[in-house]
Amino acid sequence: MALVDMLNAAMLGADLIEVRLDRFEKDANLAELMTAKKKPILFACKRQQDGGQWEGTEDERTMLLRSAVMAKADYVDIELDAADSVRPFPTYKRVISYTNLETTPKDLAAIYAEMQTKKPDVIKLTCKASTPEEAWPLIQILNKPAVPTVVVGLGDSGLMLSLLGRKIGAPWATAALEKGMEAYPGQATVRELDEFYRYRDIGKPTRFVGVTGEGERPKLLAGLLNSAFVKLELPLRVLPLQVGNLKLFRKIIDAVRLQGVLLDDSANEGMHEIAAYDDSTKMPVASADSLFPVEGGWNASNLLGQTVVNALDAMLKERGNPEGLKGRSVMLAGVGPLTKMMVTALKKAGAMLMWASKNKEAVAGAAATFGGRQLLWEAVYNTSHDVLIIGRDGSRKITDDIGEEETTLHPGYLKPGMCVVDLLSGLIPSKFLQEAKIRRCGVVSPRRLMIEQVREAVRRLSDLEIAVEPLEETLTNWIGDEE
């Protein structure tokens, strides 16, 4: 099966294939493996403390590594503490590796310095990187590597480290052959690196745009943004990020010189600690969904409001309303960061606002701060409105891992001609949106919102326009038709 996997890896576009000798049930025929190779091979034999399955003695393991050298392997992975047992030889490249499955050690710089004394052609660091705090020492090493260095981050920040490594000239990044074959949880596949993150496009001239969050949605958003950058021939690519401690987050985005950051829902509030709020939004609350660099710092801004207005305007005009949102009554169901970020763009479009919540104090505060009519939740049913925008409220609960939530609003009150937006739906439309469509309402699909978010981000980053059609086609290729 190793020969089959090697062939598959070569066909899928891998440039270098790691063969793990500790995973073989019987002694590996090294000569046969070398004869069959289609791409360069890296032989490794990992002990259990390094995440491997080797059950033999250490002498047997180092003998196997020396045999790989004699078989004229392209690369051989040798742990730092075993480096003196496997001598350098002209026929192979020597990868000196260090693995820590528990953390990123505080003395990493000293470990890295010691690795440089073992005559490495490549240094490989594998450490825990679940948070930005764990990833920061690895970022510092990547910034000025003393020798060609590969960093494998175990955790949510691992992909960020792989893409940063590509920019500074790391020899490779590790990837799984396909889903289900990951070496560690969350490892990207070859397809994801190529198709969503455009790994091979990245080089020294590349500038990064950050996208925060975990799961499927940030990956698709990153892929769509990268598709737009390629289409417009922009030297930008997406860098996936985790926020964590805000002061360290600021250090990271400064160090990487990001051209902008799109923030997921969990990071909408609190950015005032590291950024000034963009005056153009006139937002009276500390909520934002994006950061953009300005002289001496960062501006926190809001793309969501304009994204929703663009989508609603287009839908209303398609349905025979040439003035779009102008004069239309908009019900904001739920008082939270997402609905508050709607206000400026809705007012600019000429919409009339209504607020609804089960929390009397929250709805009164929103109406007093932003203007508009205040309603309790039950009054939504007998208050006429043209547009319903559903946001987070105390009455809602999370139901899956990509953001869909249920609402206590009953769809039976919906009337044909109304327009509905559910800001909390996953890419598969929520049950409420499905009911709205059945009742002949205009539904702004979550997919369309994502596409409009990409288009608005591209405008802010480049002053260029990307058409809807190529983005729709790309998203359909990845997740299928919406129906």
- The answer to whether residues 228 and 273 belong to one domain is yes
- State pTM to two decimals: 0.89
- The answer to whether residues 72 and 133 belong to one domain is yes
In the chain, how many domains are there?
3
What one-character-per-residue DSSP string does 263-281 give? PPGGGSB-GGGT-EEPGGG
Token pair for 273: 């600690």
CA distance 257 to 250: 10
* pLDDT at residue 194 in the model: 94
Mean pLDDT of 39-62: 95
Mean pLDDT of 157-170: 94
CA distance 422 to 445: 8
By C-alpha distance, which of 21, 17, 31, 24 is closest to 1? 24
Confidence of residue 214 (pLDDT cuts 50, 70, 90): confident
Which position has the higher pLDDT, 118 or 177? Answer: 118
Say if residue 316's pLDDT is above 50. Answer: yes
- Tell me the pLDDT tens digit for each residue of 240-294: 999 988 999 999 999 999 999 999 988 887 888 888 876 555 554 567 899 999 9
Domain endpoint, select from 146, 169, 204: 204
Inter-helix orientation angle 246-256/132-143, to 10°: 20
Within a domain: residue 212? no
By C-alpha distance, which of 319, 322, 320, 304 is closest to 262? 304
Say if residue 146's pLDDT is above 60. Answer: yes
- Tell me the pLDDT tens digit for each residue of 421-463: 999 888 888 899 999 999 999 999 999 999 999 999 999 999 9
Note the helical H segments in 206-245. 216-231
Within a domain: residue 11? yes
Token pair for 48: 């259990």
Which position has the higher pLDDT, 288 or 40? Answer: 40
Within a domain: residue 232? yes
Say if residue 318's pLDDT is above 90. Answer: no
- The answer to whether residues 37 and 107 belong to one domain is yes
* pLDDT at residue 397 in the model: 46
- The answer to whether residues 139 and 175 belong to one domain is yes
* pLDDT at residue 184 in the model: 83
The residue written with tokens 């020492």 in the block is 137
- The answer to whether residues 164 and 83 belong to one domain is yes
* pLDDT at residue 409 in the model: 86
Q: Which letter does DSSP use for residue 438 in this model?
A: H
Within a domain: residue 309? no
- The answer to whether residues 272 and 353 belong to one domain is no
> What CATH number does the domain containing 273 carry?
3.40.50.10860
Domain endpoint, select from 171, 204, 237: 204
Say if residue 396's pLDDT is above 70. Answer: no
Confidence of residue 403 (pLDDT cuts 50, 70, 90): very low
- The answer to whether residues 191 and 230 belong to one domain is no
> What CATH number does the domain containing 163 carry?
3.20.20.70
Which position has the higher pLDDT, 409 or 174? Answer: 174
Go through 399-438 and write b for each residue having 16 or more CB atoms within 10 A of its CB, e for each that does not: eeebbbbebebebeebeeebbbbbbbbbbbbbebbebbbe
- The answer to whether residues 440 and 460 belong to one domain is no
Within a domain: residue 12? yes
- The answer to whether residues 115 and 178 belong to one domain is yes
* pLDDT at residue 183 in the model: 84
* pLDDT at residue 483 in the model: 59
Within a domain: residue 400? yes
- The answer to whether residues 251 and 194 belong to one domain is no
Say if residue 37's pLDDT is above 50. Answer: yes
Mean pLDDT of 222-251: 95
Domain endpoint, select from 204, 237, 267: 204
Q: How many residues does the chain have?
A: 483
* pLDDT at residue 395 in the model: 46
> What CATH number does the domain containing 386 carry?
3.40.50.720
How high does pLDDT run on average in the chain? Answer: 90
Say if residue 196's pLDDT is above 70. Answer: yes
By C-alpha distance, which of 87, 52, 53, 55 is closest to 68? 87
Confidence of residue 232 (pLDDT cuts 50, 70, 90): very high
Token pair for 258: 């990001």
Within a domain: residue 211? no
Within a domain: residue 405? yes
- The answer to whether residues 328 and 469 belong to one domain is no
* pLDDT at residue 280 in the model: 54
- Tell me the pLDDT tens digit for each residue of 90-104: 999 999 999 999 999
CA distance 77 to 83: 9
Strand arrangement of the beta sheet that strand 373-376 belongs to: 373-376, 352-357, 329-333, 387-390, 419-422, 442-444
Say if residue 401's pLDDT is above 60. Answer: no
CA distance 12 to 284: 51
In sign, the C-alpha dihedral spanning 404, 406, 409, 411 is: positive
Quick one: how far is CA 169 from the chain centroid?
A: 22
Confidence of residue 364 (pLDDT cuts 50, 70, 90): very high
Mean pLDDT of 313-331: 90
Contacts of 102 (CB under 8 A, 6+ apart): 128
The residue range of the domain holding 280 is 224-302+456-479
- The answer to whether residues 58 and 130 belong to one domain is yes
Confidence of residue 402 (pLDDT cuts 50, 70, 90): very low
Which class for 269: exposed (0-12), middle (13-18), buried (19 or more C-beta within 10 A)? middle
